[in-house]
Amino acid sequence: MNKNRPVNLDISTINLPAAALVSILHRISGVVLFAVVALLLWMLDTSLESQQGFDSIAAAFSSVPAKLILWASLAALIYHLLAGIRHMLMDLGIGESLQGGRRGAVLVLVLSVIAIVLVGVWLW
């Protein structure tokens, strides 16, 4: 084994292809969704218990931190959904080529950014 080969340990200098970036972000969005599900279920449970519970959850959503948490949750959901649709289309044989994979990855990134910005505008 050649021990004189160069080793690049600075991850910020590595140029990832679009498909790799989409795959990594898809995994991250899945972890975020898993983490947020308990919070969202608690909020749903509290809001359905009584009128006071609903009022307290509604009042919480008037604060900036709550809106940011909701926006981040919706952003993860949007991205995960679009990347999942891309994976299902690839399972059907659509966009399996190298060029199709690149186009699909860029399309997921562009559509996600547009949808996440629109959700942010809607929330504020």
CA distances from 48 to 38, 55, 66, 73, 74 (A): 15, 10, 18, 20, 21
Least Cα distance to 81 among 118, 29, 18 occurs for 29
- pLDDT of the chain, 124 residues: tens digit per residue: 667 777 777 777 878 899 999 999 999 999 999 999 999 999 999 999 999 999 999 999 889 999 999 999 999 999 999 999 999 999 999 999 999 999 999 999 999 999 999 999 999 8
Residues 55-85 have pLDDT tens digits of 999 999 889 999 999 999 999 999 999 999 9
Domains of the chain: 19-123 (1.20.1300.10)
The phi and psi torsions of 117 (rounded to 5 degrees) equal: -65, -40
Q: How far is CA 64 from the centre of its chain?
A: 20
Q: How crowded is residue 12: how many other Cβ atoms within 10 Å of its Cβ? A: 4
pTM over 0.75? The answer is: yes
**Residue among 76, 64, 72 nearest 29 (CA):** 76
